[in-house]
Amino acid sequence: MTDYALLAAQARALCEGCPSWVAALANASALVMESMDDVSWAGFYLVDESDSTRLLLGPFQGKVACVEIARGRGVCGTAWEQDATQLVPDVHAFPGHIACDSASRSEIVVPIHANGRVVAVLDLDSTSPARFDEADARGLEGLVASLEEVVAW
Ligand code: SME
């Protein structure tokens, strides 16, 4: 079980005062991968500043991934559109799931806010079915709350 209070505190310490959001999110994705078991991909998709209908791939750890995700598409685009955490125990049962890694079985995506709107999402994948539960959702939302405060979105 992940110690989410520790993870959020570590992320805050790592990212606070960081002069670059790219550097901050690169370290945050590495921290998540180091801290959590059975996670195959962890990273960020950010709303494209020049085309607000799509997310673009941001800093991550894991296999190469799709670069663009349209608003409302896949798990990430749904989290953005609905402004709600998406807890997906079986990716094959999620309509429109975008399979970047065919070995992926479960996923969780948490929206990230700045200035009152969604600016990015945190995306985690696992090759195990139902890897993430409500405790992970609340814990990752806590991590995101820390990142919202200290990253220069
Ligand atoms: N599965 C995601 C796409 C991103 S990859 O998991 C890294 C989705 O359906 O939005």
Instruction: Say yes or no: CB of residue 124 within 6 Å of ligand 1.
Output: no
Distances (CA, A) of 140 to 17, 27, 51: 21, 16, 27
pLDDT in tens, 10-28: 999 999 999 999 999 999 9
Instruction: Say yes or no: CB of residue 98 within 6 Å of ligand 1.
Output: yes
- Which is nearest to 41 in space by CA: 61, 17, 55, 25? 61
pLDDT in tens, 78-109: 999 999 999 999 999 999 999 999 999 999 99
Name the percent of the chain in helix, strand, coil, to the closest 5: 35, 25, 35
Per-residue pLDDT at 1: 86
Atom of ligand 1 nearest to the CA of 66: 4
Q: Give 130's pLDDT tier (boundaries 50, 70, 90).
A: very high
Instruction: Say yes or no: CB of residue 147 within 6 Å of ligand 1.
Output: no
Q: Is 36 exposed, middle or buried (0-12, 13-18, 19+ CB in 10 A)?
A: buried
pLDDT in tens, 41-76: 999 999 999 999 999 999 999 999 999 999 999 999
Please report, as a single letter, which amino acid is at residue 3: D
- Which is nearest to 114 in space by CA: 150, 78, 89? 150
